[in-house]
Structure 1
Amino acid sequence: MHLALVIDDYLPHSTRVGAKMFHELAIEFISQGHNVTVITPIVGQKAALTQDSIDGVNIWRFNSGPIKDIGKVKRALNETLLSFKAWQAIKNQVKHDSFDGVIYYSPSIFFGGLVAKIKQRCLCPSYLVLRDLFPQWVIDAGMIKQGSLIERYFRLFEHYSYRQADTIGLMSEKNVEVFQQANGQNYPTQILRNWAALKPYELEDNSLSIRGELGLEGKVIYFYGGNIGHAQDMANLMRLAKSMCHYENAHFLFVGQGDEVDLINNLAVEWQLDNFTYLPSVNQDEFKAILANIDVGLFSLSAQHTAHNFPGKLLGYMVQSLPILGSVNEGNDLMDLMNSHNAGFITVNGNDDDFLHNAISLYHDHQLRSSLGVNAYSLLKNEFAVATIAHNVLEALRR
């Protein structure tokens, strides 16, 4: 099969988990004998379309305005134009037999138009990898009002995107329930976990570790890597860092980008935290090298969420056999999954005492960290292997 993969962010420029996941999926498809073309925006190129390849993956990059780390109004306008700009750039390249299937990733919700055009021309099925129930989570967070004009605008594109999918893959049982409660049985859904390749990153003997760079030898490093935004409730993690400031060998390292970077840095100054370091985003190889150097993988989800996300960053932790320490919204089935497999300690956001207790337990017990990390890798192999995900997507496309 020749598969078109559509995503709003891709390697090598992206540092985001979604880009890494889609690249690993593309490589897996290629290893199974399929051809893959990724269609993705790029900011600032002069040509409407450029073509290159990474690891055997063909990449079509169409010119777009910025859609990451900019103001909300400008981002919404530029995202609205994604399908139009993409089709204008690629329409002369797409023949009737170009693609046998389309796999598209949300966020963004604005690729419905592009998918519709490809399906119409190639008469092929499509699969939506739905990772983010937008705009619901921004409504939950109080960032936009339910029933407002902007909500209705986003809902229009959200449902148009859903209608183009022959199958919609959601990351957990609870997310399928939430989706169907909101949309009825109008769309065909299935559970599609997040995924990762299973090979851990191995440090080279002569590589300079993050411990050496930051002077953290002998420390127990609690690491957060990825989007630093409202959906993550970063103040939750900063409260944990503050509570751990009396444990002299505990250090919190945050790496990433997003609209709460100022918040975490301001809190670090206000609370005079000397056990905290923030670094801006790094490339994927540097990120993997950091993961190979740290002790505990951190994550947080806002208590206001009604959806039940499985953050992609957890897969990076699991690949490196790291114990996972996190907090989630009430009812999130991620908590049961991780705790029942002894892959980490997950609590409900707002239970700060339990969150702190778990962090202290991991601080004191190296053997506990090691055993939880081994269990996390086993869970990854059983539930989140990229080969399994690729098989499930292809089966859905062939139905």
Structure 2
Amino acid sequence: MKIAFLTQYYPVSDSTRSLYSDLMDEISSFGHEITVFRSEEERVFGRPEVSSRKNITIVSVPTGRVTKTNIMIKTANILLTEPRYLGAMRMHYAGSIPDMIIVTTPPITFCSAASYYRKKGSMVYLLLKDIFPQNAVDLGMMKKESLVYSFFRAKEKKLYKNADVIGCMSEENKKYLLHHNLFLRNKKIEINPNSIKPSTFQIDAKQGDELLREYKIPREKIKIIYGGNLGKPQGIDFLLEVLDKSKEIENVHFIICGSGTEYSKLEKFVKTHPDHPITLIKYLKNSRYRLLLSQMDIGLIFLDRRFTIPNFPQRVLDYFDFLLPVLAATDKNTDFGKMLINNKCGLWLESGDIDAFMKNLEYLVSNPEIRISMGKNGRALLDSEFSIKKSAQLIIDKFNLLSDPIS
């Protein structure tokens, strides 16, 4: 079948992987014809550019910055995203329609494309990875009484209504969606969690040593990594509090690898605390980041404690992939912590509780056998529950099952 995949970020190079490239590669392996429509943030104007990655067609749609920028520019460009994606799709599918459209959030402004092609007979599968605008309200970036909130909330509802199936990240995610959108029916929603293709390659120990030397990371210490976005959703102020206390623990070294709107806070902290055991890395290619993970001992997850929506951090799957035990500090509304504890692959606490964080960290640092056991449990959980094969099969099965849209 013909599949259109609408997303914000998608790697063009074969050497770079992501959640979505893994998913599309897997679906493509069944013989389906896939066209990816992705955001090209470096361009604001111009025609979409067409390229290919493996046997998948990629249409890069100029949108301007919608990530790693201020809220005003982000909002303006998100609004322009909707007509530009629809225009690119109409140009690409002139005279035909895709059998299925897979839509991701963020952003929520793909509803026009979903509505347009659903009316023509395309099935729409929504992969819900972000609940906006409520997440912006939680973080104090938007008021619920504002016109901006009302506008985006209407867009959100329209997107849900125009989806035949909504794939949620977790059970709590599903419950939240049903509770706050009473027009949705339970059978329209399924659990389709974040997923990746588990690694099978062997790590080159020599290359790992060279990477550690390059960034002056001491091999003999317990290496603790946070890898991912450094923005407001991660609650960076609590991460800074953790780093400030890190000097009290012997034989540890923190590696912060990522970028985002709050990166400058980390940069300033490292410069003003040269005696703290911290390495800050702004950017690494995917292959080098994975090599770095292979040398680590503990993986960190942070989310802002103010969230009322149940998030499920994608980055944890990379930690599981490399058998890292996880120490997570998140809001109390997510079932992410329960997943870590129940499967014995990590420890959890509510973000902001510095005493609980340090206690959990000291426990992991002083118990290498627990770290190893948790790492193995995490990898087993990845293989059984978060494999890309499972996610892809759910989508294909739903297409085969649904002969008529669920209204």
Whether TM-score is above 0.5 comes out as yes
Cα distance, 1:265–1:308 mapped onto 2, change above 3 Å: same
Does 1:215 pair with 2:213? no
Aligned counterparts, 1:265-284, within 5 A: 265-271=267-273, 274-284=276-286
Moved more, 352-361 or 21-30: 352-361
Cα distance, 1:33–1:287 mapped onto 2, change above 3 Å: same
Q: Secondary structure at the match of 1:278?
A: strand
Does 1:3 pair with 2:3? yes
Count matched residues.
396
Cα distance, 1:118–1:194 mapped onto 2, change above 3 Å: same
Which residue in 2 is equivalent to 1:73? Answer: 72
> Deviation digits for residues 300-346 of structure 1, max 9, x if unmatched?
11110111111000011111111111112114211111111110111
Does 1:115 pair with 2:114? yes
| Distance in structure 2 (CA, Å) of the matches to 1:28 and 1:15 | 16
Contact 1:242 1:273 (8 Å CA) reproduced: no
1:200 is displaced (CA, Å) by 4.5
| Distance in structure 2 (CA, Å) of the matches to 1:358 and 1:38 | 42
TM-score normalized by structure 1? 0.93
Contact 1:26 1:36 (8 Å CA) reproduced: yes
Amino acid at match of 1:337: M
Amino acid at match of 1:369: R
> Deviation digits for residues 251-272 of structure 1, max 9, x if unmatched?
1111111111122233344555
| Distance in structure 1 (CA, Å) of the matches to 2:204 and 2:12 | 21
Which residue in 1 is equivalent to 2:389? Answer: 387
Does 1:327 pair with 2:329? yes
Residue from 253, 256, 264 that aligns with 1:254: 256
Which residue in 1 is equivalent to 2:289? Answer: 287
Residue from 19, 32, 35 that aligns with 2:33: 35
Q: Which runs of 4+ in 1 moved over 6 A?
A: 13-16
1:201 is displaced (CA, Å) by 5.0
Which residue in 1 is equivalent to 2:179? Answer: 181
Cα distance, 1:168–1:14 mapped onto 2, change above 3 Å: farther
Which residue in 2 is equivalent to 1:100? Answer: 99
Cα distance, 1:184–1:15 mapped onto 2, change above 3 Å: farther
Moved more, 317-326 or 362-371: 362-371
Contact 1:326 1:345 (8 Å CA) reproduced: yes
1:207 is displaced (CA, Å) by 2.5
| Distance in structure 1 (CA, Å) of the matches to 2:300 and 2:203 | 21
Contact 1:233 1:301 (8 Å CA) reproduced: yes
1:185 is displaced (CA, Å) by 4.0
Unaligned runs of 5+ in 1: none
Instruction: Give identity over the alignment, percent.
Output: 24
Q: Secondary structure at the match of 1:245?
A: helix
Contact 1:4 1:99 (8 Å CA) reproduced: yes
Contact 2:246 2:276 (8 Å CA) reproduced: no
Contact 1:170 1:193 (8 Å CA) reproduced: yes
1:181 is displaced (CA, Å) by 1.6
| Distance in structure 1 (CA, Å) of the matches to 2:385 and 2:362 | 29
| Distance in structure 2 (CA, Å) of the matches to 1:204 and 1:57 | 30
Which residue in 1 is equivalent to 2:405? Answer: none
1:156 is displaced (CA, Å) by 2.2
Which residue in 1 is equivalent to 2:315? Answer: 313
Moved more, 274-283 or 165-174: 274-283
Does 1:194 pair with 2:156? no
Contact 1:94 1:118 (8 Å CA) reproduced: no
Unaligned runs of 5+ in 2: 403-407
